[in-house]
Amino acid sequence: MRFMVFVPGGKESEAGVLPDEKLIAAMQEFNEELVKAGVMLAAEGLHPTSKGARLKFESGKTTVIDGPFTESKELIAGFWLIHAKSLDDAIGWMKRAPFGGGVKLEIRPIFEAEDFGKALTPELRKRDERLRAQMKENQQ
Amino acid sequence: MRFMMLVIPKGYASAAPGTLPDPKLVERMSKYNQSLTNAGVLLALDGLHPPSAGARVRFAGGKPAVTDGPFAEAKEVLGGYWMIQVKSKAEAIEWAKRAPMPDGDVIEIRQVQEMADFTPEIQKAAGPTRLGAQ
pLDDT in tens, A18-44: 878 888 889 999 999 999 999 999 999
Say how many domains are in chain B. 1
Cβ pair B49:A100 closer than 8 A: no
**Disruptive mutation site among A14, A39, A74, A76 for chain B (greatest number of B CBs within 10 Å):** A74
Question: Residue B12's domain is classified under what CATH number?
Answer: 3.30.70.1060
CA distances from A134 to A130, B27, B35, B39, B87 (A): 6, 18, 11, 11, 20
On the 0-12 / 13-18 / 19+ scale of CB atoms within 10 A, A46 is buried
Which residues does B37 contact at the CB level (< 8 Å), separation at least 6? A131, A134, A135, A138
Q: What are the residue ranges in chain A where pLDDT is below 50?
A: none
Q: With contacts defined as CB-CB under 8 Å, which chain A residues touch B78?
A: 6, 76, 108
Give dist(CA B109, CA A102) in Å, integer.
26
Provide the shortest C-alpha distance from residue B48 to chain A (in Å): 4
Q: With contacts defined as CB-CB under 8 Å, which chain B residues touch A57?
A: 99, 101-107
Supply the ipTM of this predicted assembly.
0.93
Q: With contacts defined as CB-CB under 8 Å, which chain A residues touch B23?
A: 119
Residue pair A49/A66 in contact (Cβ under 8 Å)? The answer is: no
Report residue A80: phi and psi, to 5°.
-115, 150
Cβ pair B49:A45 closer than 8 A: no
Q: Is the pLDDT of residue B107 over 60?
A: yes
Give dist(CA A91, CA A107) in Å, integer.
7
Structural domain including B101 reads: 2-132
**Disruptive mutation site among B67, B106, B124 for chain A (greatest number of A CBs within 10 Å):** B106
Q: Answer with the residue of higher pLDDT: B134 or B77.
A: B77
Residue pair B117/B80 in contact (Cβ under 8 Å)? The answer is: no
Q: How confident is the model at residue B129 (pLDDT cuts 50, 70, 90)?
A: low
In three-state form (DSSP H/G/I as H, E/B as E, the rest C), the secondary structure along A69-112 is CCCCCCCEEEEEEEECCCHHHHHHHHCCCCCCCCEEEEEEEECC
Model pTM?
A: 0.93
